Amino acid sequence: MTNPTQPARRILAGLACVALITCVAFSRSGNGRKAEGGVAPSGSPVPGMALWLKADNGPSCGEACSSSTRVMSWTDQSGNENNATTTSGSPAYIANEVNGLPAINNAGQLTLASKISWTGQITVFAEFAESRPASNEIISGTGPAPFAFRTNSRHQEALVPSIADLLTGSATLNAGQFYQGNVTYNNSTGAVSLRIGEAPDGSGTSVQKVGSGNNVIFQLHDAGDTLDLAELIVYTSVLSSANITANENYLRGKYGN
């Protein structure tokens, strides 16, 4: 005997398929990313970044990159074409450095092709490791009163070089261990916050006059072969807590920390 509910089930199943196809098509629109300010989809950071450098896609070594080859340039993945070029020293490509992925051993200096204008706000995410306690700038700038994010004596630090230390993190970094670090700073309120490994690493208030437009070139460098950098993401705004968590999930899913 024919089940009288079967036609209704077929109709409902068909509608479900239509709904599913529609949702999938919508989620893939816009290059697979939500609009700026939205939480990142799985497998990518929150869009709207000013700079995105990652060692698994973008380094150029003048030949096929393999361990210890000198990195000549590093292509920006943000869409802003703000590529970094080696201007001194010999930053090296290191294969299989963290969770099977490469990193750049920054024994040198890479300078961006164009300025990242200072807007008064900044958020930085970095996947990094240092091999000895030194002052290792993850990202910095030129001109008077630039903003900088670095490690110093096994701690994260946000500062305005030669002007003031904004905040030093409380967590002690282990030599050779990769971490995902994060800093936010709002110049107008002075609110500064550090995070390490998805956990708070200190917060405070320090109103400093960071030069408007003086961060014309961000520099990635260390002066002693002590820093490995696998990924760097920079925003010229202070991200919401939800978007910070989304980027931390992205980095943990990729690098396992």
Q: How confident is the model at residue 79 (pLDDT cuts 50, 70, 90)?
A: very high
Q: pLDDT value at position 220?
A: 54
Place of tokens 């990313």: 33
Place of tokens 């800093």: 183
Give the predicted TM-score (pTM) of the model: 0.81
- Of 36-40, 133-137, 138-142, 202-206, least confident by mean pLDDT is 36-40
Encoding tokens for residue 125? 């995410």
Q: State the Cα–Cα distance between residues 161 and 145, nearest whole angstrom.
A: 7
Of all helices (H) and strands (E), which one includes residue 12? helix 6-27
Q: State the Cα–Cα distance between residues 5 and 238, nearest whole angstrom.
A: 55
Quick: pLDDT tens for 87-139. Answer: 877 889 999 999 999 999 877 778 887 778 778 899 999 999 987 767 788 88
Q: pLDDT value at position 13?
A: 40
Helices (H) and strands (E) in the chain, counts: 2, 17
CA-to-CA dists, residue 31 to 76, 207, 250, angstroms = 17, 39, 17
Q: pLDDT value at position 106?
A: 77
On the question of pLDDT at 41 being above 60, the answer is no
Q: pLDDT value at position 1?
A: 47
Q: How confident is the model at residue 141 (pLDDT cuts 50, 70, 90)?
A: confident
Residues ≥6 apart with Cβ < 8 Å to 44: 32, 33, 250
Q: State the Cα–Cα distance between residues 171 and 182, nearest whole angstrom.
A: 13
On the question of pLDDT at 225 being above 80, the answer is no
- Of 28-37, 73-82, 128-137, least confident by mean pLDDT is 28-37
Are the C-beta atoms of residues 43 and 74 closer than 8 Å to each other? no
What percent of the chain has pLDDT above 70?
A: 77
Tell how far CA 211 is from the center of its chain. 23
Q: State the Cα–Cα distance between residues 133 and 108, nearest whole angstrom.
A: 17
Q: Which residue has the higher pLDDT, 116 or 245?
A: 245
What percent of the chain has pLDDT above 90?
A: 51
Q: pLDDT value at position 71?
A: 92
Are the C-beta atoms of residues 246 and 233 closer than 8 Å to each other? no
Of all helices (H) and strands (E), which one includes residue 13? helix 6-27
Q: How confident is the model at residue 17 (pLDDT cuts 50, 70, 90)?
A: very low
On the question of pLDDT at 51 being above 80, the answer is yes
Domains of the chain: 51-255 (2.60.120.200)
* Range 229-240 average pLDDT: 95
Q: Which residue has the higher pLDDT, 9 or 33?
A: 9
Q: Which residue has the higher pLDDT, 24 or 229?
A: 229
Are the C-beta atoms of residues 239 and 190 closer than 8 Å to each other? no
Closest by CA position to 218, among listed 3, 48, 51: 51
Q: What is the largest CA-CA distance in the chain?
A: 87
Q: Which residue has the higher pLDDT, 27 or 72?
A: 72
Q: pLDDT value at position 224?
A: 54
Q: State the Cα–Cα distance between residues 19 and 23, nearest whole angstrom.
A: 6
